Amino acid sequence: MSKQVIKTLALVGLFSLSSGVANASVVNDAQLIEGDLCVGFDCVNDENFDGELLRLKENNVHIRLIDTSSITQDHESWNIGANDSSNGGNAYLNLEVKSLTQDSLVLSDGTAPLWDCSVLPPIDTGEFIPAGEPFLTPYSCAQVYVFSQTPYAKFSSLNEGGGVTLGVNSQQKSDANSVSVGNSELTRMLVNVAAGIADTDALTQGNLISLVAANQALDELDKLDRKLARIERFVAVLTKFKARFPYFYNFVKKHRLKKLTAATSGL
């Protein structure tokens, strides 16, 4: 099979980044591109790549990776997304698993209008579909199915709080600049974490065990210090007693020495 060298900056059909592409070009041959490549509706003539080999330039860029060799659909399709799919949405970079078919039923959040589907055309009842029940499209009462998406990682911009979520179905907390590895019902352990050194480092169980041991040692030292202080006070009093009553002091000392000798003579 020959290889065709294409010296263009845009190759139609290499990436399908927008549903607005009317026609797709199928090339049954290997392709080589000498130079940089820009893909997307916002690419312009004389694009300044600034050292970039590949640029995806469009409002709300999403890349989908589909592995056709996978035996299950659970992880056959992966999405890499830069910002929300809608204009003016949140700014982030995320990685998620996306279903191959629209298999997820859209449910009402409690604000969707309720339609009377017993008449044609259906009429608005003025009420709302309870939260958790299937959403119905206006005038047709049809249920809506969308692609199911399972998040794995998300990095929010500073404008969106700067949070990070890691792990399947992890959810970002409302706190700005937080890191989440789970959600309110799914918690995960952080393992292989280095011991904290700086004031801003994470505290590990090893740090806590060392801290407890150090506190226990300090408590024992405090007890010894108190005992030593009592002994020093007793020695000071005994020294003063000896100076004032030397004869009585020697008598007591000698008497106690005799009792100690008698008590230990059988040992």
What does the pLDDT read at residue 208?
80
What does the pLDDT read at residue 133?
92
**Secondary structure, 3-state, the chain:** CCEEEECCCCCCCCCCCCCCCCCCCCCCCEEEECCCEEECCCCCCCCCCCCCCEEECCCCEEEEEECCCCCCCCCCEEEEEECCCCCCCCCEEEEEEECCCCCEECECCCCCEEEECCCCCCEEEEEECCCCCECECCCCCCECEECCEEEEEEEECHHHCCCEEECCCCCCCCCCCCEECCCCCCCCCCCCCCCCCCCCCCCCHHHHHHHHHHHHHHHHHHHHHHHHHHHHHHHHHHHHHHHHCHHHHHHHHHHHHHHHHHHHCCC
C-alpha span between 187 and 173 (Å, rounded):
13
Measured torsion, CA atoms of residues 250, 252, 258, 260, in degrees rounded to the nearest 10:
-120
What does the pLDDT read at residue 70?
67
Which single residue is written with the structure tokens 């040692």?
217
What does the pLDDT read at residue 254?
73
Q: How is the chain split into domains, by residue range?
A: 207-264
| pTM, rounded to two decimals | 0.56
Six-digit token pair at 106?
A: 């859209």
Residues in the chain with pLDDT values less than 70? 1-22, 70-74, 88, 174-176, 256-267
- Is 163 within 8 Å of 176 (Cβ atoms)? yes
- Pick the closest to residue 152 from 81, 223, 203 (CA basis): 81
